[in-house]
Chain A
Amino acid sequence: MAGDAIIAQNLIYSYGQLLAVDDISFKVAEGEILGFLGPNGAGKSTTVKMLTGQLQPKGGQATLLGIDVARNPEKVQGNIGVCFELPNLYEQMSAEENLNLFARLFGIRPFDADALLKRVGLGGREHDRVEGYSKGMKQRLMVARALVNRPSILFLDEPTEGLDPTSSETIRNIILQERERGATVFLTTHDMMEADKLSDRVAFVDNGKIVVLDTPHNLKQQYGKRALRVEVARPDGGLDNREVILDKPETAGDVQGLFSKERVITVHSEEASLEDIFIEITGRGLVG
């Protein structure tokens, strides 16, 4: 069984009187993708900053790869990659120069920037200055920069927000490839679909606390409605919807009746989306 790459124990952080992170504890296993979901101001970024050594916790402890982050941030930072939400690249340098700089900071020599740039779809543009890149290209370069040191843990903050479908797909594929390589991925996002597709587990964060942490499948099972939604054709050519509740003694008969008496067009299981579950748990949506 894989060990824990990230252990957060009773993490607390406040900005003045505002308690941003309120006694958060969780673990992320090696090679796992954890989706960290929550609305703006929920405490996601503050948690990431404490985990990556950018902020000293005011309480509790963060351990990454067995190293106490607060005590030895440089050692931790040598083994992680961070992709920020907003581009923070050296715009007057080329993509290749940006990656080479960070490779030197991580002490990696020789370093093949071109191969990494090809991997994120920036091959052929490696010598162009970043200031001329589109938003999607910059974001892909940000992801490439986070991979320079082949990190054991990858922190990604809204890596696909506002990107075109091609760029988003490229980044999603890279996340999955990194997981295949054995890296742990800590994914902060608003995008429920993305979290659902990529994450092994998701944590819902609200008001500085983790309100639920489980696999998307379990959450859907727990909070979703166990029912079938059946579309049937009307004699006039229109469509009607029927709902068959599962787990009832008469369920089998209801299904049989539908198929024998009516012309069934489609059948879907009615499972809740992560957004529905978040709203059910917290009473509010993820955006805003």
Chain B
Amino acid sequence: MNWQIVRALIAKDFKLYFRNRFFAFITVLALVAYIVIYFVMPQTVDETLEMAVYAPVLPPILEQAGSQGLELVLMESEEQLKEAVVGGEYLAGVVVPPDFMDKLMSGDKGQLDVYFGTDTPEELQDSITVLLEEMAYLQTGQMLSVRVSPEVLGRDMVGIQIPMRDRLLPMLAVIILMMEMLGLASLISSEVVGRTVQALLITPMTIRGLFAAKLIMGTSLAFIQVLLFMAVTGGLNQQPLIIIVALLLGAIMVTGIGFLVASGSKEMTTVMAWGFPALIVLSVPAFGVLAPGTVSDWVRAVPSYYLVDAVYQAANFNAGWSDIWDNLLILLSFDIVFVWLGITVLGRKLR
């Protein structure tokens, strides 16, 4: 392969990319926007659960609730409490009748009225109900037949919850990579439609040289941007080498996908038509990090899962090579598949 030709093509592609006002603008704007989004997101996680309470006589056990991670906010009236819950200020509100303690102490069954907001998850409603029942039993001195275990299932995140912005980091990284994929696909399809590729292919340049140039250009463009983003947002503070390798593999993967998108596109509209569904699918694993429990195990079938997971684990949990080598290996496999597939399909179109 003639590397002088490859270098000339790469220089030409970078020049054309940044002379396309739309892509030059989008590239800079998006990078700045993602960095801003990251920094405006909360840096810490509030682990206390706020609950509204209206109680003319506050039971002693509720006074100690604050130390259990449950912060009770006293309301002045039952109406005020209902308004606050309906307005979404609190997940739940508890109305404690004035004779509640007396009834409990005399052995009668006391009654608490609990109000939930419409968007309070069912699991949380059950938890709060159980919590209140437990507190009532404790107040009467009777033990519940429930065994309490100090064992925590999964990673114990108490006190070290991942802030929203750090959860957002892998998703923004994937979006940056995918945006560059759209740019590359647009650049290639404009070469095909403008028939400039025909002019290139009757010079000593080979189709291999052309793909080498596109692969290097596409990967560099995506990789440099995502690296810049990670560096500015502090995403490289832990395990930088692992994250850099993962991002590089991710950039190669989106370049291969860019070849595929370009092969099915004639102009910007069709690039978007093919590119956005791909972008959405590849962003799904990142949503799983953003909101754990919202996606199922099938997400492992999405190639970007291994990029998202590698970046997330390394950046937030200091995961080492031994923890995520399998992710990187699978990502490399996807790189080979997508680049091979992209070159094969697009190569047919170019010839």
Interface residues of A (CB under 8 A from B): 52-54, 74-75, 77-78, 80, 82, 84, 86, 88-93, 97, 101-102, 104-107, 145
Q: Is the interface of B mostly helix, strand, loop or mixed?
A: helix
Cβ proximity bits B1-30 to A, threshold 8 Å, 1 near / 0 not: 010110011001001100110000000000
CB distance from A85 to the nearest CB of B (A): 10
CB distance from B214 to the nearest CB of A (A): 15
B202 touches A53 (CB 8 A): yes
Cα distance A254–B148 when bound, in Å? Answer: 131
Which residues on A sit within 8 Å (CB–CB) of B19? Answer: 92-93
Cα distance A101–B15 when bound, in Å? Answer: 11
16 A-B pairs within 8 Å (CB atoms) are namely A53-B202, A54-B198, A77-B202, A78-B203, A78-B204, A92-B20, A93-B12, A97-B15, A101-B8, A104-B5, A105-B5, A105-B8, A105-B9, A106-B204, A107-B5, A145-B199
Q: Residue on A with the closest CB to B206?
A: A74
Cα distance A86–B199 when bound, in Å? Answer: 11
Cα distance A75–B2 when bound, in Å? Answer: 13
- Of A77, A80, A104, A106, the most chain B CB neighbours within 10 A belong to A104
CB distance from B198 to the nearest CB of A (A): 6
Tell whether B196 is near chain A: CB-to-CB under 8 Å. yes
A77 touches B203 (CB 8 A): yes
Tell whether B320 is near chain A: CB-to-CB under 8 Å. no
Which residues on A sit within 8 Å (CB–CB) of B205? Answer: 74, 105
- Of B5, B15, B194, B204, the most chain A CB neighbours within 10 A belong to B204
A54 touches B203 (CB 8 A): no
A91 touches B200 (CB 8 A): no
Q: Residue on A with the closest CB to B17?
A: A92
Cα distance A92–B205 when bound, in Å? Answer: 21
Using known A-B contacts A104-B5, A105-B205, determine if residue A88 contacts B16 with beta carbons closer than 8 Å.
no
Cα distance A89–B9 when bound, in Å? Answer: 14
Tell whether B65 is near chain A: CB-to-CB under 8 Å. no
Within 8 A of A (CB), among B248-273: none
Cα distance A89–B197 when bound, in Å? Answer: 10
Which residues on B sit within 8 Å (CB–CB) of A74? Answer: 204-206
Q: Residue on B with the closest CB to A79?
A: B204
Within 8 A of A (CB), among B68-115: none
CB distance from A165 to the nearest CB of B (A): 27
Tell whether B231 is near chain A: CB-to-CB under 8 Å. no
Tell whether B201 is near chain A: CB-to-CB under 8 Å. yes
Which residues on A sit within 8 Å (CB–CB) of B203? Answer: 77-78, 102, 105-106
User: How many chain B residues touch A (Cβ–Cβ < 8 Å)?
Assistant: 22
Q: Is the interface of A mostly helix, strand, loop or mixed?
A: loop
Using known A-B contacts A89-B196, A90-B196, determine if residue A54 contacts B16 with beta carbons closer than 8 Å.
no
Tell whether B349 is near chain A: CB-to-CB under 8 Å. no
Apart from A75-B204, A78-B203, A93-B15, what are 8 other A-B pairs with CB-CB below 8 Å? A82-B202, A88-B198, A89-B196, A90-B196, A92-B16, A92-B19, A105-B5, A106-B204
Tell whether B300 is near chain A: CB-to-CB under 8 Å. no
Which residue of B9, B15, B16, B198 contacts A84 across the interface (Cβ within 8 Å)? B198
Which residues on B sit within 8 Å (CB–CB) of A92? Answer: 16, 19-20
Which residues on A sit within 8 Å (CB–CB) of B204? Answer: 74-75, 77-78, 105-107
CB distance from A50 to the nearest CB of B (A): 12
Cα distance A134–B156 when bound, in Å? Answer: 69
Cα distance A82–B2 when bound, in Å? Answer: 21
Which residues on B sit within 8 Å (CB–CB) of A84? Answer: 195, 198-199
Which residues on A sit within 8 Å (CB–CB) of B198? Answer: 54, 84, 88
A101 touches B195 (CB 8 A): no
Using known A-B contacts A93-B16, A104-B8, determine if residue A54 contacts B194 with beta carbons closer than 8 Å.
no
- Of B4, B12, B199, B206, the most chain A CB neighbours within 10 A belong to B199
| Shortest beta-carbon contacts, A-B, top 7 | A88-B195, A104-B8, A105-B203, A92-B19, A78-B204, A74-B204, A82-B202
Cα distance A136–B90 when bound, in Å? Answer: 73
CB distance from A53 to the nearest CB of B (A): 7
Which residues on A sit within 8 Å (CB–CB) of B206? Answer: 74
Which residues on A sit within 8 Å (CB–CB) of B201? Answer: 54
Cα distance A106–B198 when bound, in Å? Answer: 15
Cα distance A24–B200 when bound, in Å? Answer: 27
Cα distance A86–B198 when bound, in Å? Answer: 11
Q: Residue on B with the closest CB to A56?
A: B351
CB distance from A64 to the nearest CB of B (A): 12
CB distance from B336 to the nearest CB of A (A): 27
- Of B8, B12, B203, the most chain A CB neighbours within 10 A belong to B203
Cα distance A217–B240 when bound, in Å? Answer: 77
Using known A-B contacts A92-B19, A104-B8, A105-B5, determine if residue A86 contacts B195 with beta carbons closer than 8 Å.
yes
CB distance from A233 to the nearest CB of B (A): 57
Cα distance A53–B351 when bound, in Å? Answer: 11
Q: Residue on A with the closest CB to B16?
A: A92
